[in-house]
Amino acid sequence: MISIEKFKDKRNVSGEFREKVERDIRMGNRDGFKSRTGFVLACIGSAVGMGNIWRFPYMVSEWGGMTFLLPYVLFVILIASTGVIEEMALGRAAKSGPIRAFGKCTEIRTGNKRTGEVIGVIPVLGSLALAIGYTVVVGWIFKYAFLAITGGLFRMGQDMDAIGGLFGGTASSFGNNLWQVIAMIVTGVIMAYGIAGGIEKANKVMMPLLFVLFLGLGAYIFTLPGSGHGYRYIFTLNPQGLLNPRLWIYAFGQAFFSLSVAGNGTLIYGSYLSDEENIPASAARVALFDTIAAILAALVIIPAMATTGAKLDQGGPGLLFIYLPNLIRSMPGGTLIAIIFFVAVLFAGMTSLLNLYEAPIATVQEKLHLGRVPACAVIGIIGAAVSLLIQGIVSDWMDVLSIYICPLGAGLAGIMFFWVFGKDYAETQVNKGREKKFSKWFVPVCRYIYIPVCVLVLILGIALGGIG
């Protein structure tokens, strides 16, 4: 049983109320991860997504290789040691998603959970909206993986008009209905099996395979003439470039969004953890492997571009669905490379999609008292219907969410945990499962650096039209 520890800060919390809260946050028979490895792989899966594959290599290329990597790694360390830990710990403390977690925070502070629950709706709706947009993208990947396997991707040769037209038609209004529905069905089936039986098992298969496939691609690219130019560029450091403030802004944005701190996905995965789990250690593993995945993508894509003498001057969907297919087509063994590449990308997309849908599904279970399968059906129908309608505007849809909702959700979760829950309670939750107490600087750094940084991400995103 999980008990509420004695508060050291000054609060008028009666014994009766404390017992109520204690009963409220019992784990009971709630589903959860069956192993530490499963949890870490699921969190890595949530972090490793399209940002690692279609944006990170472009940012490395655009901002000068190691010149970008250095601040990026520094920001990954900062966010992993603050926001990622905080969201995991908040989820575990509440044993629930954002709505009930935020509600428990305000209930402990004021005796009124309603205020927190209303605020908690923001990250849940944000997670659902992101999942809907991501469903469109995963539908594209399903189509291109199929075309790679069947050989249809290369029947156009190197006709850039035809290649661009294929993606233009796919990304248009109602242009990819079949594969989008397939993406939603596959996601729904996995989610219906629950945390241990569905999400954990899927990530245990897809995440190792993703790394194996990218390692294999990287090894192959290494053997191609001209690839050395790409490696030299990646590992070149330009000290003068470090003086550019925009470099640090975009490196921070990339790190922030790559680690999936938004007050929803990481929080809900944390809610399925036992008290024996060492959260800071798990957060470090997630950050490490997310960074490795991003660097692997750069080590594949940038040297591959170098083999043709082409400059990587575009990121986003255009890189993944237009320029890379054309590039791969010209390589020896291009058909096999395309299959491996798009299957790996599919795994990255699917694992992120599972995470995004979990918070809304768990919320439906909690609020409507539905079983896992009916809850998945409800969210699946909403996800499929809305995603079909937004195919032609998905880019703008995702931009709005990343600029406004993600940093807002991250900031709200931080405020709830560090200011509403309070310092002593936050420290207690973070130190559960650890033999040695975590850094005494953790709460001050989160309060006075991480939370203001979330506000800064919001402001800079609005000012610059997005930074991640």
pLDDT tens digits, one per residue of 351-398: 999 999 999 999 999 889 999 999 999 999 999 999 999 999 999 999
- Within 8 A by CB and 6+ apart from 85, the residues are 279, 280, 283, 430, 442
Domain ranges, residue 303? 31-135+194-322+393-464
What are 74-84's pLDDT values in tens digits?
999 999 999 99
Flag whether 295 is in a domain. yes
8: pLDDT strictly greater than 70: no
- Nearest CA to 351 among 219, 229, 453, 198? 198
What are 240-289's pLDDT values in tens digits?
999 999 999 999 999 999 998 999 999 999 999 989 999 999 999 999 99
- Mean of pLDDT over the chain: 89
Flag whether 358 is in a domain. no
Measured between alpha carbons, how far is residue 238 from residues 11, 65, 139, 298, 312 in Å? Answer: 53, 9, 39, 18, 18
Flag whether 206 is in a domain. yes
236: pLDDT strictly greater than 70: yes
CA dihedral (215, 217, 220, 226) positive or negative: negative
What percent of the chain has a predicted confidence (pLDDT) above 90?
70
Flag whether 186 is in a domain. no
6: pLDDT strictly greater than 80: no
Flag whether 296 is in a domain. yes
12: pLDDT strictly greater than 50: no
Distance CA 325, CA 313 (A): 16
Between 194 and 158, where is the model more confident?
A: 194
The answer to whether the beta carbons of residues 224 and 301 sit under 8 Å apart is: no
> Residue 11 — very low, low, confident or very high, per pLDDT cuts 50/70/90?
very low
Between 5 and 215, where is the model more confident?
A: 215
Least confident stretch, 22-36, 93-107, 139-153, 316-330: 22-36
Flag whether 332 is in a domain. no
- Within 8 A by CB and 6+ apart from 66, the residues are 234, 235, 236, 237
Report residue 419: phi and psi, to 5°. Answer: -105, -40
Q: Which two tokens stand for residue 201?
A: 């098992």
Flag whether 449 is in a domain. yes
43: pLDDT strictly greater than 60: yes
User: Which pLDDT does position 243 carry in this prediction?
Assistant: 93
> Residue 315 — very low, low, confident or very high, per pLDDT cuts 50/70/90?
confident
Distance CA 354, CA 168 (A): 26
22: pLDDT strictly greater than 70: no
Task: Report, as an integer, the average pLDDT of 107-115.
Answer: 90
User: Which pLDDT does position 280 carry in this prediction?
Assistant: 95
User: Which pLDDT does position 3 carry in this prediction?
Assistant: 40
310: pLDDT strictly greater than 80: no
What are 163-199's pLDDT values in tens digits?
889 999 999 999 999 999 999 999 999 999 999 999 9
Query: Number of folded domains in the chain?
Result: 1
Between 218 and 3, where is the model more confident?
A: 218
Distance CA 104, CA 96 (A): 10
Flag whether 43 is in a domain. yes
User: Which pLDDT does position 25 carry in this prediction?
Assistant: 42
> Residue 313 — very low, low, confident or very high, per pLDDT cuts 50/70/90?
low
324: pLDDT strictly greater than 90: no
DSSP 8-23: -S-----HHHHHHHHH
Look-up of token digits 């998905």 = 394
